[in-house]
Structure 1
Amino acid sequence: MNPFFLFIVLTVTSFSSYLCVAQKSVVKMPKGRIAFSSDGNLHDTDDWGATAFSLALIHYAGLEKRFVHYDYNNHLGDSDKNWEQVMTDAAKGGAKRFGLDARKVFDDQSEKEAAITNFVKEANSSNKKNPLWFICAGPMQMAYDMIKATLPEKRKFIHAISHSQWNEVHNHSENKKTWEDMKKDFPDVVYHQILDQNKSNGEDDFYSHITNWKWLLESNNENWKWLYNIDDTGVLDLLTKGRKESIEKYFDISDAGMTYWLITGGPYGGNEKGGWKEVKALFENKPITNSTPTPEVVFESDDYIFLEAESTSSSLGNWNLIRKGNKNYVKSASGFAFLEFNGNKPQIGNPDSPLQYEFVCPKDGNYRMVLMTSKRLEGVPSDWCNDIFVKMEGDFESGTNLTKSDLTNYIKVLQEGNEATAELEWHWAVQAEKEKHKYYDVIYNFKKGQKYKLTLAGRSQRFSIDYILLYNSDKFGLYDAKDFFSKKK
């Protein structure tokens, strides 16, 4: 072999080995565990992508076992229901995609107390050799409440991290406590304020031109494509026109910069000026694996009430029973049958052809109602044929911000995703609309052994229902319920 060529080969090989070692050495997270609190449900949409990327960074750094807490939608009070759902996909969906324990992920709009309980458990188990690194990526009220609930003697082992003055001083709606309040009231906590990753590294940081991130979309990795699409560049215009002029140009996952700073050393030399190049290098050095799968969620029989739509003794009226083999059958229906409403008009109508279902509650608790639904458009707009009326009778209280009167009278429940969901497929209906574009979870506080009567009534033509699910929302989150019962059927 030509000596000069041999020199080139050896040099390139050595340089490639150096790159591999260099990338592995980037991960220098201090001892301890990782906790997050983020918003994403009002004001600013950068948390959608930042949440998903933070979870991916933990995976690609090989730190899955250090992940112990993520609460999201932490803008308390005012909230946007559509944004809440995107954050659920980013947080709970991201955890499952990247091998993190999704049981440690909590929606503050519906699982606030469970989030506080989990955070307190982790904080109170902290010590000098195993501190809790707490990334504060939203308004500080939720972070304040969680720290307040911890044992005072354990707070010196909590490291709170922030990079955003907006988050630190935000006091809108029920969010009153600030970063300065935390420092004043909990002086034993260790506080780290790092550079804001919005343009801290010019055009190469975590907030940069969208073309810097095209490698995700152009890869053969479905998880990378998902990361690209969950950033607000790809999602927000489906929900609002508020930032269209900026999201067409910029990919914004700036809050993920705190995660990168921590996994590369934190206060011991962590990189505050990382960006797309560092993310790409880290991702390419470790392929996605399923070596740490999320434990399977298991529902016991008293955790839910499951009702097939066709299992009613009521006269069907304008409901048609659709079985497998019918031209309008939607595949994968539970029990190979469902009901399709054919009264009223495709867009609107009064309650028609009521269907009643009686059941006994298996134990005390808050039970959230969700429906498995479909729509058949026949050429009408895609946000038609997508809703139904429901009401409940019996000895219960409201478990949500709807009143009991709202729940004992007919209220409209609509298919999630609205015009974004495809027809002739099964999709969840998870929220009620009380006023125009004001959406609410449907949760009933039931009593063990009590008998209840649920009534469904048709609203829009060619809307179909496969089954009704009422699950214990004190024990399980919406993501877990949807995932479990979609597979179960």
Structure 2
Amino acid sequence: MQLIKPKSNNAYTLHKVQVLINQSFYRMKTSKILFLLFISIAILIPAETIFAQAWGYNNNRVAVSFDGNSAADNQYKWPTGDPDDWGALAASCAIMAKLGLQDKLVHCSYNNFIDAPPGPDNKNQLKISADGSIARWGFNKEAFFDVTKQLKESRSHLANEMGKSTASNPLYFMHAGLSEFIYQVVEEVIANGNIEALNHVYLLSHSKFNENEIRRDYHRTWADIQKLCGNRIKYKKIKDQNDKGNPNNLWHSKEDFSVWYWMRDHKDPNINWMYTRVQAHTLNHADISDCGMFYYLLVGDDNGSPEKFKTFIGEGIPSTYNNSDLATKEEEKLIIIEAEKFSLKANWKINKDTIASNGKYIEFTGSNLYKAPNHDNTISYNFKIDTPGNYTVKWFMRQPEGERGTDKGNDAWIYFSNNKGFADNTALEHYEKFYGRSTDDFVLNGTAEIHDLGHKWLTAKFNKPGEYTINISGRSSKLQIDNIILFKGITIDEASKKTKLNKSL
């Protein structure tokens, strides 16, 4: 008997295994040989590589278009895009790479909010995820497009992929962004005389938001696309891949990152990198929900979870990553400012707790000051910078029990003197809200909420060595701060670990 060994990186479907067993059964003469057959298959085919693909998919072409624009679109009611795509793009590519299907991803566009402005490459969160996936897992870089900068090219590229679809060569499209971009693509397919090819395009969705939301009055929805193509495009909608109330189910665990720590602690450094893309979410949410469509189509399960994803990734993903593929790593630097080192006054008090760094933390005991800072409650600290650069700003904070709601015990006003604080490339010239969420422990987080810009990570930019000043003013009563950290050249998780090991200023 000759067994068929699956290719090292390809999913070997349950259907094919069953066919092999059935064929072998009729050749077998004894139960002993049949038993050996099952043992041999178990050895040759690792459990994590046996998956049943869904919706008729059989290693066909795959295309996807994400939204998630990180540059502010101030003409729209929500200036920033949906940051779940920042981690979802990396996770989706990881799913394909784990199965050895990199060559099947024929189109991946991102930032597909039509009429939204482009952002600088170094702050373009989806470009960071796309470029990282290409470098690490060997995807074709020619298949990736930033719609804000390459609208014509990305539209024509996807129209070409749709337009060449046939019964034997269908295209499976993941609807991970709004519909206007796809409407324009379908218009181009029809203009090219390829409308009948749309009978062999399969569009998979999980989100009524992606299907129906418009950012300009003239934009179109999925219903408009169906009408335009005469319902030729095949359509399937799986259940919403968010279950915010249950962190152990599906792909959105809200503020609970612990269910994804296996990425952070994985021995494969590229899985560690994927965790940093999950962390990039501006609202401090662990949300990669759009990758649930890839998990459904390629693995056959529309009820994924962090634990299932962990099992699926297994020992890691074969990598094409080489240090020369990416820019030289920025010099690492971490600055830790213990909160009790601030010059306290008015309603700021020092308290003691053994779980706090050095056993001390500060608390704002005054009343809520949501409209504007009261400088009687503004405290400051001067610190030195010996290595210039752009530093991410975070804090270890805690909301005391009974103060764990929105705008309760969770935020302060913050300002770096001489306008050294930035949200993207916008200098912050006055105090801005800085907030987080916690449970019983001091938690590392911190996101700025900027008028007209929305929720942004805070960066402090220091062009030269010298002494600088950070200012904190009371906003939410009962807020507790253990320390504030500034870091560059390392991930937020590395900064967290180093904070616990380093001596404070």
Question: Scaled by the length of structure 2, what TM-score is found?
Answer: 0.51
Q: Is contact 2:111-2:146 (8 Å) kept?
A: yes
The aligned counterpart of 2:176 is 137
How far did residue 286 of structure 1 move?
A: 5.3
Aligned partners of 1:87, 1:284: CA distance in 2, in Å? 25
Are residues 1:197 and 2:244 paired?
Answer: no
Are residues 1:48 and 2:92 paired?
Answer: no
Q: Is contact 1:27-1:61 (8 Å) kept?
A: no
The aligned counterpart of 2:291 is 256
How far did residue 80 of structure 1 move?
A: 7.3
Q: Is contact 2:87-2:281 (8 Å) kept?
A: no
Q: 1:111 aligns with which of 125, 150, 154?
A: 150
Q: How does 1:85-484 map to 2 (within 5 A)?
A: 85-150=124-189, 151-173=194-216, 176-186=219-229, 187-199=231-243, 202=246, 203-208=248-253, 209-231=256-278, 234-237=279-282, 243-244=283-284, 247=285, 251-264=286-299, 270-284=300-314, 287-290=317-320, 383=421, 419=459
Query: Which residue type is aligned with residue 24 of structure 1?
Result: T
Aligned partners of 1:216, 1:40: CA distance in 2, in Å? 22
How far did residue 193 of structure 1 move?
A: 0.9
Aligned partners of 2:390, 2:101: CA distance in 1, in Å? 46
Q: Is contact 1:126-1:154 (8 Å) kept?
A: yes
The aligned counterpart of 2:49 is 24
Q: 1:39 aligns with which of 55, 63, 67?
A: 67
How far did residue 82 of structure 1 move?
A: 6.8
Counterparts in 2 of 1:16 and 1:30: CA distance versus 1, 3 Å: closer
- Residue 314 of structure 2: SS of its match in structure 1? helix
Q: Is contact 1:201-1:273 (8 Å) kept?
A: no
- Residue 207 of structure 1: SS of its match in structure 2? coil
Counterparts in 2 of 1:18 and 1:200: CA distance versus 1, 3 Å: farther
Counterparts in 2 of 1:287 and 1:93: CA distance versus 1, 3 Å: closer
Q: Is contact 1:61-1:282 (8 Å) kept?
A: no
Aligned partners of 2:168, 2:41: CA distance in 1, in Å? 35
Q: Is contact 1:141-1:175 (8 Å) kept?
A: no
How far did residue 230 of structure 1 move?
A: 1.1
Q: Is contact 2:86-2:125 (8 Å) kept?
A: yes
Counterparts in 2 of 1:92 and 1:174: CA distance versus 1, 3 Å: farther
Counterparts in 2 of 1:184 and 1:17: CA distance versus 1, 3 Å: same
Q: Is contact 1:78-1:173 (8 Å) kept?
A: no
How far did residue 14 of structure 1 move?
A: 6.3
The aligned counterpart of 1:315 is none
Counterparts in 2 of 1:256 and 1:375: CA distance versus 1, 3 Å: closer
Counterparts in 2 of 1:20 and 1:80: CA distance versus 1, 3 Å: same
Query: Which residue type is aligned with residue 58 of structure 1?
Result: M
- Residue 58 of structure 2: SS of its match in structure 1? coil
Counterparts in 2 of 1:69 and 1:223: CA distance versus 1, 3 Å: same
How far did residue 79 of structure 1 move?
A: 4.8
Number of paired residues?
A: 292
CA-to-aligned-CA distance 1:361-418 (integer Å, 9 cap, x gap): xxxxxxxxxxxxx8699x987559x99xxxxxxxxxxxxxxxxxxxxxxxxxxxxx99
Q: Is contact 1:31-1:131 (8 Å) kept?
A: no
Question: Scaled by the length of structure 1, what TM-score is found?
Answer: 0.53
CA RMSD of aligned residues (A): 3.9
Counterparts in 2 of 1:423 and 1:53: CA distance versus 1, 3 Å: farther
Counterparts in 2 of 1:376 and 1:119: CA distance versus 1, 3 Å: closer
Aligned partners of 2:101, 2:108: CA distance in 1, in Å? 15
How far did residue 271 of structure 1 move?
A: 1.1
CA-to-aligned-CA distance 1:102-153 (integer Å, 9 cap, x gap): 1110001001111012112222222111111110111100011112211102
How far did residue 189 of structure 1 move?
A: 0.8
Query: Which residue type is aligned with residue 212 of structure 1?
Result: V
Q: Is contact 1:376-1:424 (8 Å) kept?
A: no
Q: Is contact 1:37-1:137 (8 Å) kept?
A: yes
Aligned partners of 1:177, 1:117: CA distance in 2, in Å? 18
Structure 1 unmatched ranges of 5 or more:
1-9, 238-242, 265-269, 298-329, 332-373, 388-416, 426-489
How far did residue 75 of structure 1 move?
A: 1.1
Counterparts in 2 of 1:85 and 1:188: CA distance versus 1, 3 Å: same
Q: Is contact 1:34-1:132 (8 Å) kept?
A: yes
Q: Is contact 1:75-1:175 (8 Å) kept?
A: no
Query: Which residue type is aligned with residue 200 of structure 2?
Result: F
Query: Which residue type is aligned with residue 279 of structure 1?
Result: F
Counterparts in 2 of 1:200 and 1:21: CA distance versus 1, 3 Å: farther
Counterparts in 2 of 1:52 and 1:174: CA distance versus 1, 3 Å: farther
Aligned partners of 2:296, 2:319: CA distance in 1, in Å? 24
Aligned partners of 1:18, 1:275: CA distance in 2, in Å? 26
Aligned partners of 2:81, 2:126: CA distance in 1, in Å? 13
Counterparts in 2 of 1:174 and 1:54: CA distance versus 1, 3 Å: farther
Aligned partners of 1:104, 1:92: CA distance in 2, in Å? 11
Counterparts in 2 of 1:199 and 1:20: CA distance versus 1, 3 Å: farther
CA-to-aligned-CA distance 1:78-114 (integer Å, 9 cap, x gap): 3573797011111232222221111110001001111
CA-to-aligned-CA distance 1:434-461 (integer Å, 9 cap, x gap): xxxxxxxxxxxxxxxxxxxxxxxxxxxx
- Residue 459 of structure 2: SS of its match in structure 1? helix
